[in-house]
Amino acid sequence: MSDDDPILNVQDLNAGYGRSQVLFDVGMFARRTGAAAILGRNGAGKTTLLKTLIGEIQPTGGLIRFDGVEAQNEDTEKRVRRGMGYVPQEQAVFGTLTVRENLLLGAVTQRDKSGIDMVLDFFPKLGDRLGQQAGTLSGGERKMLAVSRALLGQPKLLLLDEPTEGVWVGVIEEIADRLQQLSREISVIIVEQHVELALRVADYAYVMDRGQIALEGPSAEIKEDPRLLRYLAP
C-alpha cells in the first residue's frame, strides 16, 4: 500500500446514542504519519467521533476505512489488533497497580517487552516512578502513562482525547513535544481544548460544530481563519 494512501478515510459518518444523533455525515482522513487536530466547543461531537472510530459506538451510517479495510462493522478489539490505539479522556490507567505493572499490561503481546524501554525513553519521568502506584501520579504523569500503554500496542494510528486536560502547564509543553515527535513516525489524531497547542502539534485540523465538520484545512490556515473563534465560542 502506498505511503500516499491515508491510514484513515471516513465518509458520511453518522452516529449517536440511542435515538439522539450526534454525528451528521462526517468526513475526514488521516495520513500515515503526521497529526490531525479535532477542535470545537463542548458538545460539538469530538469525543463521540473518536469513540465511533475506535468502535465503542456503532455508527448508524457511513464508512470507516482503516489501513485499507472497512472497519465500521469491526469490534474495538479487532481495530486495536489491526493497529488503532485510543487514549480516552477519562482515567486510562489502573490506579492500584504500579507504573511498571501498567506498562507490562500494555506490553502483554510483546515477547521481549523491549517496547517498555522505548516508552521510558519517550517519557523519562516514568522511569523514576516504576514502583509507584499509578493512582498517586500527577495528572501529567498519568497522561504520559496512558499514552505509553497505548504505544506499547504498536499502533499505526493513535487517537487521543484531551491529552492535556488537567495537566500542569509545565508538563503540557513536554507532552506536546512528545506528540510532535511521535507524529513523525505514526498517525495521530488529537481532540484538544487547548487550541493553540493543538494547532502547533498538528499539521491539519478539523473544526466541528453541532456534529458536523464546519472547517478543515492545514493548521496554519485554520489558525488564521476568522471563522474559528465563532465555532469555539461557548
Contact 14, 200 (CB under 8 A): no
In the chain, the domains with their CATH numbers are: 8-232 (3.40.50.300)
Q: What is the pTM of this model?
A: 0.92
Task: Please give the C-alpha separations between residue 229 and each of 24, 110, 205, 219, 233, in angstroms, as whole numbers.
Answer: 22, 45, 14, 14, 6
Give the tens place of pLDDT for each residue, 56-102: 999 999 999 999 999 999 999 999 999 999 999 887 789 999 999 99
**Confidence (pLDDT) at 7:** 98
Give the tens place of pLDDT for each residue, 91-107: 778 999 999 999 988 88
One-letter amino acid at 21 equals: Q
One-letter amino acid at 125 equals: K
CB atoms within 10 A of CB 78: 13
Residue 158 has pLDDT above 90, yes or no: yes
Instruction: Please provide the size of the chain in residues.
Output: 234
